[in-house]
Structure 1
Amino acid sequence: MSTIKLGNPAVVGLSGFGLTTLLLQFHNLGWCGLGPIVAMAFIFGGLAQLIAGFMEQKTGNNFGFAAFSTYGAFWIGLGIIWLLNYFKVYTSSTTDVGFYLVGFTLLTLIFWIGSLFIHAAMSITFTTLALGFILLDLAHFGFPEVTTLAAIVLIICAFSAWYMMASIVINDVAGREILKTGKPWIKKTSKLL
């Protein structure tokens, strides 16, 4: 039996998710251009999250495996859409991107349900993520005025993801619980047979 302590891949996944989400919202608020977000979409939001997801699979964490792999693929896919638009290989309309977002909204709602059984910080992250996706869906289907509200909600989501990352890192190095993540919003029942 190995006594080597392994790192928690969630710290990388949550870091990448939070940073890329935060940068995109800065863009959505008109504070920065798309260049930094494209770079992060491929590297930190995309590749790093995919790696974190694959590492979560090795720990037996289906939620982390599915979530990090899904959002890693989301960011890489979005980066490809932006590049295809930029180079005029295939220009996606606002509605095209809207349908892309709707697909990920539906997946997010599945993760949101799962998050309710984990802890409060996870529930807050996925509640704000689901709400942010819904608002972005609306923005892409004729209600662009909700983009600012979506950006604010998703900035909260990004900081919530970073809080979870910080709780894992700080609690580990401190050897005690300094940052609490809260109780699950829905209590688990007995294990499946």
Structure 2
Amino acid sequence: MADSTTGNPAVVGLAGFGLTTLILQFHNLGWCGVGPIVALGLVFGGLTQLVAGYQEFKAGNNFGYSAFCSYGAFWIALSVILLMNHAGIYASSTTDIGWFLVVWTLYTAILWVGALRIHLAMASTFTLLLAGFILLDLAHFGMPGMTTLAAIVLIFCALNAWYMMAHAILFQVYGKDILPVGQPVVGGNSKAKQQVIAGAAESA
């Protein structure tokens, strides 16, 4: 078993995505204010995911490249919206944020189709993410009660992302699959599975 020469950017990207998603849902459930969302959205969910995405680009992984860079940009953009609302600069209404979420829902639907071809953990993560976005869309267009349900769904989504993160880390540390991620939901694509989550770590 050869030594790995590079790290796996997915372990950092998934960490940032999961943690920032969790803190936003804690806010949506009324447990914390906006401050932690802005801080994490700019640094961990935003900048760190962007860096992870650029590293996925070097690995030739289009799925990880697109997902980490795009959702990193999502968190930065959301943080900017929250900051501008606080400062009264180009303030966004509930409907404005709703349309912001709608376009991200459409983007997520595209990645969801790809996720079905990777493995079960990825498919379930993106299924929950897509469902969460749809519920948030409804919440911003006249059905505010959907916010609580969206928060619960997205908490499970975030925990799924951390499961994949733990899978990749423990695979390298223990040299075997401690936390299996399952088979693809649609067809088989072991190469995509290895690229997206395992990466350099699983080649150790």
CA distance in 1, matches of 2:137, 2:160: 21
Question: What amino acid maps onto 1:9 in structure 2?
Answer: P
What amino acid maps onto 1:98 in structure 2?
G
One-letter code of the match for 2:66?
A: A
Distance 2:102 2:149 in 1: 17
Aligned partner of 1:172 in structure 2 is 172
- Structure scoring higher RCO (CA < 8 A, sep ≥ 6) equals 2
- CA distance, structure 2, for counterparts of residue 89 and residue 32 of structure 1: 24
The whole-number CA distance in structure 1 between the counterparts of 2:42 and 2:106 is: 23
2:70, 2:97 → 1: CA distance? 17
Partners in 1 of 2:76 and 2:182 — Cα distance?
32
Q: Aligned pair 1:39/2:39, yes or no?
A: yes
Matched residue type, 1:141: F
1:68 equivalent in alignment to 2:71: no
SS at match of 1:144: coil
What is the aligned-residue identity percentage? 62
Q: Is the counterpart of residue 122 in structure 1 residue 130 in structure 2?
A: no
Q: Distance in 2 between matches of 1:145 and 1:179?
A: 35
Q: In the superposition, relative to structure 1, how do residues 4 and 124 fare at CA in structure 2: closer, same or farther (>3 Å)?
A: closer
Q: Structure 2: how far apart are the matches of 1:15 and 1:4?
A: 21
Deviations 1:62-89 (A, max 9, x none): 0000000110000000000000000001
Residue 171 of structure 1 deviates from its aligned partner by: 1.2
Unaligned 5+ runs, structure 2? 192-204
Instruction: Report the Cα offset of residue 5 of structure 1.
Output: 1.3
Query: SS in structure 2 opposite 1:123?
Result: helix
- Give the C-alpha shift of residue 188 in structure 1: 3.8
Match of 2:97 in 1: 97
Matches within 5 A, 1:1-193: 5-188=5-188
Partner Cα distance (2:114, 2:54) in 1: 19
- Partners in 2 of 1:155 and 1:188 — Cα distance? 28
Please give the alpha-carbon distance, in whole angstroms, between the structure 1 residues aligned to 2:82 and 2:14. 23
Matches of 2:188 and 2:142, distance apart in 1: 40
Kindly provide the amino acid, as one letter, of the partner of residue 178 in structure 1: I
Name the TM-score, length of structure 1 as normaliser: 0.95
Unmatched 5+ stretches in structure 1? none
Q: Deviations over 1:92-142 (max 9, x none)?
A: 000000000000000000000000000000001000000000000000000
SS of residue in 1 equivalent to 2:104:
helix
**Count of matched residue positions in the alignment of Structure 1 and Structure 2:** 188
Cα distance between partner residues in 1 of 2:4 and 2:101: 41
